[in-house]
Amino acid sequence: MALSMISGKRVAPFSGATSRIRTQPVRAPVVISQSYQNKENINLSKVSEYARHEKDTGSPEYQVSRLNARIEQLGKHLKYNRKDFSALRGLQAILAQRRSLLQYLYRVDREGYYKLIQAYGIRSVVVGDTRGTSREKVEKAAA
């Protein structure tokens, strides 16, 4: 039985043996839009300011600034996709992680803590702290 090559696939001549040979359908190339190519559409311009050195990824200031950039990105996503509850749950987890890092930073380095919450406009996570950004200031700035 003679086989011929059509588009790189082995195809038997039409002689009844075609039922035994399975060929793969030719698939069109997948085209991804520009908005999905940058998977982490995150603005990281402020993040490098808080790095202690070039390869810093573990300092609390750097982690908080990185989490804040992710929070902003998820907030924009949830503004247009209100029913994306898995993204909402992820946002809540990131907010909890940022809160615990800020509490640690408050205990260890108060000046760094105040510098960070003033730069990002974050309300203070410490109960009774009067130096942090109050809710009224945040609401006035947003209006």
Taking only the tens place, the pLDDT of each residue in 85-139 is 999 999 999 999 999 999 999 999 999 999 999 999 988 888 777 666 555 665 5
CA-CA distance, 94 to 99, in Å (whole number)? 9
Q: Which residues contact 12 (CB under 8 A, 6 or more apart)?
A: 1, 3, 18, 21
The domain limits of the chain are: 56-135
Report the phi/psi class of residue 2: left, alpha or beta, with left for phi > 0 and alpha for psi in -120 to 50.
beta
Taking only the tens place, the pLDDT of each residue in 33-71 is 555 445 556 677 778 888 888 888 899 999 999 999 999
CA-CA distance, 29 to 116, in Å (whole number)? 46
pLDDT of residue 92: 96
Question: What CATH topology corresponds to 56-135?
Answer: Helix Hairpins (1.10.287)
